[in-house]
């Protein structure tokens, strides 16, 4: 008989409340349901995620999301093999809401509990969507994260580098706020940039002069604000064309930086694993940006790697990836119990030096 594992996944580490059921059978992942309840409307007025508001919304919505996910999957709690929940890193109030919900379900049903690292959920997604074999290279690029990882096993990650300050999604959101666009800023900045001249403003490509894969995006935001203020000083305000040019220039700077650092990460991956033509995969909301996707595809092509972007609904925060990471953990024999704690910080690479700083979405682990 072929092995079949069904896991209920729960995610609440940032501003999406999510529950999903994933079954692994015949070497394939089947996403039976994936429910995501977003909170953009609750945070839009603030231009970023407000932790307390997020935590309260999670607490209100978790039960409903779990119920819906089980109903859509056509399963009862007694049918799943385990309950996987994001136990960090993230905004602690949200993570706690999810962990407490999962503990209650585990206690009530007698099903084992699996604490999943949110970043591992993102990093293992290509195995769920495309059955990608280990090892592969992953770029996590979202509102709270930006890092390159060599993924060699369900619990075996090597961090090649990442941002030393802001994550790119955060920089997109701040840019949108500086230019009076809405929230979340990424899609709006991308839309504006379409009618802009990317060459008009010379924005910095930070840390390209430094070896390795580390990145920095906070200086870019300052450069953008200066450019905006200069136009206002000279002309008394900014035109729609000025705004489009600023967006295009900013987006090009992020894309160029990610492309060059990706090229270096691909080379470092090849040197470390001896594999020349493996997968270079991306996850996180910024992967929705088509200019950035093209830049990453180019970096992969230059180095002989194969670029892979999973469907966007599994690139952004969702619980199917947590359920899938649960499948992988379950297979290794890993089990947690009611002592599982919620962790605001939880680096994937146990050997990496701790990161500095903490942004609007908490730890940039």
Who contacts 51 (Cβ-Cβ below 8 Å, separation ≥6)? 91, 92, 93, 94, 362
187 binds ligand KG4 (CB under 6 A): yes
Tell me how far apart the alpha carbons of residues 131 and 175 are, in angstroms, rounded to a whole number.
Answer: 36
184, interface contact from ligand KG4, Zn ion, none, CB < 5-8 Å by kind: ligand KG4
Burial class (CB in 10 A: 0-12, 13-18, 19+), 78: exposed
316 binds ligand KG4 (CB under 6 A): yes
Binding residue count for Zn ion, defined by CB under 5 A = 1
Helix axes 290-303, 185-193, angle to 10 degrees: 80
- Find all residues with CB under 8 Å of 358, minimum gap 6, and list them: 364
String of DSSP letters for 6-66? EEEEEE-SSSEEEEEEEEEETTEEEEEEEEEEE-HHHHGGGTS--HHHHHHHHHHHHHHHH
Q: Which of residues 3-62 bind ligand KG4 (CB under 6 A)?
A: 14
Q: Answer with the entry of Zn ion, ligand KG4, none that 286 interacts with (C-beta below 5 to 8 A by kind).
A: ligand KG4
Q: Are 97 and 58 in contact (CB under 8 A)?
A: yes
Indicate which single residue of 165, 166, 173, 245 sits in contact with ligand KG4 (rule: CB under 6 A).
173
The residue from 114, 179, 268, 286 that contacts ligand KG4 (CB under 6 A) is: 286
User: Which of ligand KG4, Zn ion, none does 89 bind, CB closer than 5 to 8 A by kind?
Assistant: none
Q: Does residue number 186 form part of the binding site for ligand KG4 (CB under 6 A)?
A: yes
Q: Segment 278-317, which members bind Zn ion (CB under 5 A)?
A: 317
Residue 143's binding partner out of ligand KG4, Zn ion, none, with CB under 5 to 8 Å set by partner kind: ligand KG4
The residue written with tokens 């972007």 in the block is 309
CA distances from 26 to 23, 29, 73, 269, 365 (A): 10, 8, 18, 30, 34
Nearest distance from residue 32's CB to ligand KG4, in Å? Answer: 22
CB of 312 to Zn ion, least distance (A): 13
Q: Are 83 and 8 in contact (CB under 8 A)?
A: yes
CB of 12 to ligand KG4, least distance (A): 12
Residue 285 is a binding residue for ligand KG4 (CB under 6 A): yes
Pairing of strands 279-283, 306-308: parallel
Determine the size of the site formed for ligand KG4 (CB under 6 A). 21
Assign residue 166 a region: left if phi > 0, alpha if psi is -120 to 50, beta otherwise? Answer: beta
Return the residue of 47, 88, 89, 143 that touches ligand KG4, per CB under 6 A.
143
CB-nearer residue toward Zn ion: 70 or 321: 321
Q: In this complex, which beta carbon is closest to Zn ion, that of residue 12 or of residue 257?
A: 12
Binding site for Zn ion (CB under 5 A): 317
Binding site for ligand KG4 (CB under 6 A): 14, 142-144, 169-170, 172-173, 184-187, 190, 284-286, 288-289, 316-317, 361
């Amino acid at each position: 008989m072929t092995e079949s594992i069904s896991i209920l996944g729960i995610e609440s580490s940032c501003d999406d409340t999510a529950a999903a059921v994933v079954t692994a059978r015949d070497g394939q992942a089947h996403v039976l349901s994936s429910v995501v309840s977003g909170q953009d409307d609750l945070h839009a007025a603030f231009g970023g995620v407000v932790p307390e508001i997020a935590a309260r919304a999670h607490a209100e919505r978790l039960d409903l999301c779990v119920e819906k996910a089980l109903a859509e999957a056509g399963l009862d709690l007694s049918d799943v093999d385990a309950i996987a929940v994001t136990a960090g890193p993230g905004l602690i109030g949200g993570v706690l809401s999810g962990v407490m919900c999962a503990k209650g379900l585990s206690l009530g049903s007698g099903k084992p509990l699996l604490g999943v690292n949110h970043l591992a959920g993102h990093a293992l997604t290509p195995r769920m969507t495309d059955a990608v074999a280990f090892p592969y290279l992953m770029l996590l690029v979202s509102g709270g994260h930006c890092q390159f990882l060599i993924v060699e096993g369900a619990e075996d990650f090597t961090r090649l580098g990442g941002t030393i300050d802001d994550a790119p999604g955060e920089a997109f959101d701040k840019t949108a706020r500086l230019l009076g666009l809405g929230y979340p800023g990424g899609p709006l900045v991308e839309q504006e940039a379409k009618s802009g001249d990317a060459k008009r403003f010379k924005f910095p490509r930070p840390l390209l002069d430094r070896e390795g894969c580390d990145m920095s995006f906070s200086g870019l935001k300052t450069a953008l604000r200066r450019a905006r203020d200069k136009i206002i000083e000279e002309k008394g305000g900014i035109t729609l064309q000025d705004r489009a040019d600023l967006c295009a220039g900013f987006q090009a700077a992020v894309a160029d930086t990610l492309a060059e650092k990706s090229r270096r990460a691909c080379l470092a991956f090849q040197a470390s694993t001896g594999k020349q033509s493996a997968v270079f995969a991306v996850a996180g909301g910024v992967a929705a940006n088509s200019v950035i996707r093209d830049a990453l595809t180019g970096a992969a092509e230059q180095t002989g790697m194969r670029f892979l972007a999973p469907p966007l609904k599994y690139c952004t925060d969702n619980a199917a990836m947590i359920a899938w990471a649960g499948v992988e953990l379950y297979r290794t024999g890993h089990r947690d119990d009611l002592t599982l704690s919620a962790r605001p910080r939880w680096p994937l690479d146990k050997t990496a030096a701790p990161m500095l700083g903490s942004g609007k979405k908490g730890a940039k682990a």
